[in-house]
Structure 1
Amino acid sequence: MPYLLLIFVVLFYAGNILTGKAMNDLPPFTIAFFRLLVAFIFLLPIGIKSAWKARNTFREYKGPFLIMTLTGVTFFNTFIYGALQFTTASNVSVLETVIPVVTVVLSALIVKEKLPLIKWTGVALSFLGAVWVVMDGRLLELFSSSWNVGDVIMIGAISCWAIYSIVVKQYMHLFPAYGVLLVMTGMSVLILLPFVAVEWTIGSVPSLGEVKYWIGFLYLGVFPSVIALVFYNRAVERLGASQASVFLNFLPVVTMIGAYVWLGETIKLPEIAGAFIVIAGVILTTRAGTRKKRKSLNYKKTSYN
């Protein structure tokens, strides 16, 4: 059930944005570092054996593995936490909806993934709906709004996840599911360590004694960092990078619902209308892929008979 997996991915990533915004009094590299440290500790007992058995695979495909580590684990969320220092959670969530568009374009250019017109239409429709949600139905204001530093930082996150999605489709199946995440998070902790040192040297050492921070780190380290990545990787293997990534267009909708429940914000009519547009676009894209697979299977059955 790859679509069910992707629904949970969206839920966990919406929680990632909301939690990251709630903790934005901490510097971004610090949040990313402790998130991944928790993930590494969580993965250690369940991934160490498979990681050791696959050590030759890690050596053989060290190039693609390094790209997946840097883009999907080390810097994607670091860019998000950096963006949340300057912009709103809503802005971050809508800018993440650009990822499917970038992924589709890169998939077509790099791996020559063929996409029918109906899929392009679905991607565009769901993206339009996501923008409609965040802009409160005032689409023309999108072009008159000034971009702040956080919006620019999100370009890094968008690029990272689009590249990660494409490389995952080609290489992730070669690695053990938990072993690869263990090694990825371990490497990312080491990579981020000097950034944290610089962050604390330039600024000040943050006070990490509050319980709310460690509850946040625990959530970030287990659900978005581990479970969501496992689910997303499996969905990409089944559906392809472009089709799986279009589900991220649900993110603004889920994020705003979370803000309503958690922060007491109201949900307006334009946001409800935008939610339906997003859902329509995702259904259009996924049904196009399902219909194509069914035709292929029917053709094979006819040929065999």
Structure 2
Amino acid sequence: MSRLAKGYFIALVGITFWSLTGVFISYLLRQYAMPALQLAFWRNLLVCVALAPILAIRKIALLRLPPGQFTFFLFYGLLLALFNSIWILAVQANGAAVATVLGYSSAGFTALLARWFYGEKLGLPKLAAVGLSLTGLVLVSNAYSREMWQLNPLGVSTGLLTGLLFAGYNLLGKEAASRQINPWTALLYSFAFGALFILPLNLLPLPGAVSSVAELWPALPPAGWLTLLTLAFIPTLLGFGLYTLSMHYLPVSIASLLATTEPVLTAIEAYIWLGERLTVVQIAGSLIILSAVLIVQLEREPT
């Protein structure tokens, strides 16, 4: 197998695992009635519990918080906590397929935020991507429908916030890379601080929060715990790990383009295992969002 073929294979396997995130979350929410913020907390915590010993065995230095980066990771974790909480609420209200597509509306928001915070050029292609992202976001989230605002206000509002928060999280990932922080260290500490922020959110009268401190511990049967552990290991750690590894063999632009297959895979998986179906309008909105992602990726790097 050639180096390029190996990169494609590793990336596609990683993205396939990654695409299962929304499906596992939706299953836990439906099958075991886990409160959304409780699930967000345990997902973050279990990722840290699983990743820390792996890094300790592989290279102990990866466990060390980079000097002078505490405040950065505090903010990184806060944004991740908000994104994970809102996104899981979006999965609960809209389904795995819709929530995953909404995350990809971040392409347009990322272009805008990068212009404001990093002074990146916002040319015609990126402006087009912004317009397409916002159009697709409105269509997929049903934000154009007054009836949906009345029937499913949580679904519409979390849908609109998902792309914006994911864009902010992506920019902080870029900032971590510019500070030469190892991606595994960044993953560990962003999820660790994220768990710390989600914990008190569970004690507030918010949608998806538990009703008491005692309920923070999930009342799950063994099959439920296995599903929760699988969510932390397979889609999050293994998916992220393989996708990161693929960039040793592929140009970043190619790996990013391959990642746009995630919402398609999630839609297929959600249809097979959860019986979810997108409406014609949502399918059209999904295609518009993916076209915006492709414009941004193709404009970013010609390789």
Letter in 2 for 1:254: L
- 1:83 is the counterpart of 2:84: no
Q: Is the 8 A contact 1:75 1:157 kept in 2?
A: no
Residues of 2 paired with 1:89 and 1:45: CA distance?
30
CA distance in 1, matches of 2:259, 2:138: 13
User: 125, 128, 134: which one pairs with 1:121?
Assistant: 128
- On the 8 A contact 1:28/1:82 being kept in 2, the answer is yes
Whole-Å Cα distance in 2 between the matches of residues 128 and 10 of structure 1? 26
* TM-score, normalised with respect to structure 2: 0.71
Please show how residues 286-305 of structure 1 align to structure 2 within 5 Å.
286-291=297-302
Equivalence for 1:100 = 107
Which residue, 142, 163, 177 being the options, matches 1:172?
A: 177
Which letter maps to 2:231?
L
**Structure 2 counterpart of 1:36, from 44, 63, 77:** 44
Residue 78 (structure 2) aligns with: 70
Q: Within 5 A, what are the aligned runs for 1:9-20?
A: 11-20=16-25
1:162 equivalent in structure 2: 167
The question of whether the paired residues in 1 share the 8 Å contact of 2:47 and 2:191 is answered with yes
Deviation of 1:156 after TM superposition, in Å, equals 4.5
Q: Which runs of 5+ in 2 are unaligned?
A: none
Which structure's residues are more often helix, by fraction?
A: 1
* TM score, norm. by length of structure 1: 0.70
Match of 2:90, as an amino acid?
A
After superposition, what is the alpha-carbon deviation per residue over 1:131-184, rounded to whole angstroms, capped at 9, x for unaligned? 76x48xxxxx75224331133234454333212211221223522332333333
Matched, 1:46 2:54: yes
Q: Which residue identity lines up with residue 23 of structure 2 in the other structure?
A: L
Tell me how far 1:10 sits from its aligned partner.
5.2
Classify the secondary structure of the residue corresponding to 1:59. Answer: coil
Change (3 A) 1:33 1:42: same
Q: Distance in 2 between matches of 1:266 and 1:82?
A: 18
SS at structure 2 position matched to 1:92: helix
How many residues get paired?
Answer: 280
2:269 counterpart SS class: helix
Aligned partners of 1:16 and 1:224 also within 8 Å: yes
CA contact (8 A) 1:92 1:154 kept: yes
Matched residues in 2 for 1:109 and 1:194: separation? Answer: 31
Q: Match of 2:187?
A: 181
Identity across matched positions, percent? 24
Task: Measure, in 1, the Cα distance between the counterparts of 2:121 and 2:159.
Answer: 27
Higher gyration radius (CA): 1
Q: CA RMSD in A?
A: 4.1
Q: Could you tell me which of 141, 144, 153 is aligned with 2:158? A: 153
